[in-house]
Amino acid sequence: MGKIYAFLLGVVAGFGLYHLAGSYHVLRAESGWRVVPKVSHTLEDTYVDVRDFGAGDWAKRPELAAAVIKSGDDELKKDAVGDSVNQLLPGRSSE
């Protein structure tokens, strides 16, 4: 009987981790770690380091960009836009 309970506990834990990974983006930004709800339930882009993202990187990940905009985290949005602009303008560096 103990093996069945261990198996069921593993199934429940696995489902919980699957649900968390499918529901949230974990982002590493200049301002620190952020957890942002996903727009749709997928396992794509569960962890993303956005510190060196440029405009092209955001264009390749429209779901991630939409989640960041929808999150309402102004500091994260400022980091994302500021770094992209700094990469496009010559003579500017991100601080």
- DSSP conformation letters of 36-84: EE-SS--STTSEEE-TT--HHHHHH-HHHHHHHHHHT-HHHHHHHHHHH
Domain annotation covers residue 95: no
The pLDDT value recorded for residue 58 is 87
Instruction: Indicate the number of domains in the chain.
Output: 1
- On whether residue 93 sits in a domain, the answer given is no
Q: Report if residue 60 sits inside a domain.
A: yes
Average pLDDT per block of 10 residues along the chain, 95 residues long = 92 95 92 92 92 86 90 83 59 49
Domain assignment present for residue 23? The answer is yes
Asked, for residue 94, whether it belongs to a domain, the answer is no
Give pTM, 2 decimals: 0.72
Range of the domain at 6: 2-88
